[in-house]
């Protein structure tokens, strides 16, 4: 492949997906409850419950293109990342083939948690979630510079990174 086609493929496959103009689309087959996308007070878009969700229920599966560590690094040039690590072996890029869960925002006191089983990532309710409430997840980012948090929770730790634990 010549340099021009390689650059075009890079832009099409890496830069454009999930860009600033991406609009959330919720894939109903990956949801257990009615959900809606709307503008979020936390950041850009968010996903909201369209009906009450009981505690300890699978809400939505996080889907996307399966990629390895090298591909994650390659795609990290994007302004908006929708990468969800499911272990040392790899990650899902929600910008490609995402269920809508990639637009769930971070919160230091989230109403969802992730359960990884047999290569699937299910987001499960920590407590009852009311209709109209934004779905949130603690990103617990590992490594890199601290990323400022905008969740507004009284329990906000100020950043989206995983809390530091002394050894």
- If one compares 80 and 108, the residue with the highest pLDDT of the two is 108
pLDDT band at 162 (very low <50, low <70, confident <90, very high): confident
Report yes or no on 95 lying in a domain: yes
Give the CATH number for residue 11: 2.170.270.10
- Tens digit of pLDDT for each residue in 129-140? 999 999 999 998
Report yes or no on 48 lying in a domain: yes
Supply the range of the domain harboring residue 19. Answer: 3-137
Report yes or no on 164 lying in a domain: no
Residue spans of alpha helices (H) in the chain: 3-10, 69-75
Report yes or no on 81 lying in a domain: yes
Query: Does the pLDDT of residue 150 top 90, yes or no?
Result: yes
Calculate mean pLDDT across residues 143-154. 90
Structural domains of the chain, count: 1
Query: Does the pLDDT of residue 5 top 60, yes or no?
Result: no
């Amino acid at each position: 492949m010549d340099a021009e086609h390689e650059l075009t493929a890079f832009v099409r496959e890496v830069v454009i997906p999930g860009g600033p103009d991406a609009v959330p689309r919720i894939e109903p087959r990956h949801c257990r409850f009615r959900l809606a996308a709307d503008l979020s007070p936390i950041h850009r878009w968010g996903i909201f419950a369209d009906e009450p969700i009981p505690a300890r229920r699978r809400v939505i599966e996080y889907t996307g293109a399966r990629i390895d560590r090298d591909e994650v690094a390659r795609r990290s040039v994007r302004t908006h990342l929708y990468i969800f690590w499911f272990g040392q072996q790899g990650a899902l890029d929600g910008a490609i083939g995402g269920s809508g869960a990639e637009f769930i925002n971070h919160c230091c006191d989230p109403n969802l948690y992730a359960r990884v089983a047999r290569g699937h990532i299910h987001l499960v309710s920590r407590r009852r979630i009311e209709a109209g409430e934004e779905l949130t997840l603690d990103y617990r980012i590992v490594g890199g510079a601290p990323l400022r948090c905008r969740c507004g929770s009284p329990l906000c730790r100020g950043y989206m990174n995983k809390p530091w634990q002394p050894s």
